[in-house]
């Protein structure tokens, strides 16, 4: 389990709490700040492993915070920008930002980007890579990548979590309710047809790739990742 310290900076306390919830669940230590001046001070006091930094902040904006932090630290920074705002990637990277995410965002995407940046910068202490491999199939939940027959296939976070969960438990049958509880959890606001829709989309990506495994329907029960090896 990871034990990196993440500083989340946003003047929207709801966003801070949402990210705290997801990051806590993933094993990170989380501290927050709601304005630019507090962000710089907390960075100095806490020395986090990574900062998630909103651009539009009171007192000091994200650009100014990034500039100030880079005077004394090279720890990675992921910028947040609202949809519709002009994000100058060149300026961001010149100031020392490592990545950026556009709001509204999926918290799982933010987690994946955090892991990727920490690995790239050599700051990741997490050793347990969440990955399962089968013939012509690699499901990596650490960086949310699905490789099918050697090619990366763009896959939404919830589809990734569903196929990872099934493939991590080969030949075990899951009911729709079990999958909703174990994969969707507190994110879930729909009905069991949600599972059917996600399975259908996964099948479109996976069917016919290999004769050694398949995403199989168990009629009147649910689904399983069936292996033939």
Mean pLDDT across the stretch 197-218?
94
Domain ranges of the chain: 5-120, 131-227
**Max avg pLDDT among 2-11, 113-122, 198-207:** 198-207
The residue-averaged pLDDT of 125-152 equals 84
Surface-to-core class of residue 142, CB atoms within 10 Å of its CB (0-12 exposed, 13-18 middle, 19+ buried): middle
Classify domain 5-120 at the CATH superfamily level. Answer: Response regulator (3.40.50.2300)
pTM here is 0.54
Q: Kindly tell me the sign of the dihedral angle through the C-alpha atoms of 26, 30, 32, 36.
A: negative
User: What's the pLDDT tens digit per position in 62-95?
Assistant: 889 998 998 888 889 998 887 555 556 666 677 7
Q: Of 147, 158, 204, 203, which is closest to residue 182 (Cα–Cα)? A: 158
Q: Under CATH, which architecture does the 131-227 domain have?
A: Orthogonal Bundle (1.10)
For range 155-167, the mean pLDDT: 92
**pLDDT tens-digit series, residues 13-60:** 999 999 999 898 888 999 999 999 999 999 999 999 999 999 889 989
Whether residue 127 is predicted with pLDDT greater than 60 in this model: the reply is no
Pairwise CA distance, residues 190 & 208, whole Å: 30
Q: β-strands 174-175, 213-218: how paired? A: unpaired
CA atoms within 13 A on the CB side of 222: 18
In whole numbers, what is the pLDDT of the chain averaged over residues?
A: 86
Q: Is the pLDDT of residue 140 over 50?
A: yes
Is-contact 42 29, C-beta < 8 A?
A: no
pLDDT tens track for 6-15: 999 999 999 9
pLDDT score recorded for residue 33? 95
* pLDDT above 80 (res 3): no
Q: Is the pLDDT higher at 1 or at 77?
A: 77
């Amino acid at each position: 389990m990871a034990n990196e310290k993440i500083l989340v900076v946003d003047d929207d306390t709801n966003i801070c709490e949402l990210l705290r919830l997801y990051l806590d669940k993933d094993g990170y230590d989380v501290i927050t700040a709601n304005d630019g001046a507090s962000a710089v001070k907390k960075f100095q006091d806490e020395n986090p492993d990574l900062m998630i930094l909103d651009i539009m902040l009171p007192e000091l904006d994200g650009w100014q915070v990034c500039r100030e932090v880079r005077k004394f630290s090279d720890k990675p920074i992921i910028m947040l920008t609202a949809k519709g705002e002009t994000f100058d990637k060149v300026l961001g990277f010149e100031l020392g930002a490592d990545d950026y995410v556009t709001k509204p965002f999926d918290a799982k995407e933010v987690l994946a980007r955090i892991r990727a940046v920490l690995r790239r910068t050599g700051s990741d202490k997490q050793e347990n890579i969440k990955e399962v491999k089968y013939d012509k199939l690699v499901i990596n939940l650490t960086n949310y990548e699905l490789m099918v027959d050697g090619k990366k296939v763009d896959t939404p976070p919830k589809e990734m979590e569903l196929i990872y969960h099934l493939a991590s438990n080969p030949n075990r049958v899951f009911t729709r309710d079990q999958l909703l509880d174990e994969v969707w959890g507190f994110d879930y606001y729909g009905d069991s047809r949600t599972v059917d829709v996600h399975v259908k989309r996964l099948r479109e990506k996976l069917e016919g790739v290999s004769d050694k495994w398949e995403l199989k329907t168990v009629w009147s029960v649910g689904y399983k990742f069936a292996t033939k090896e």
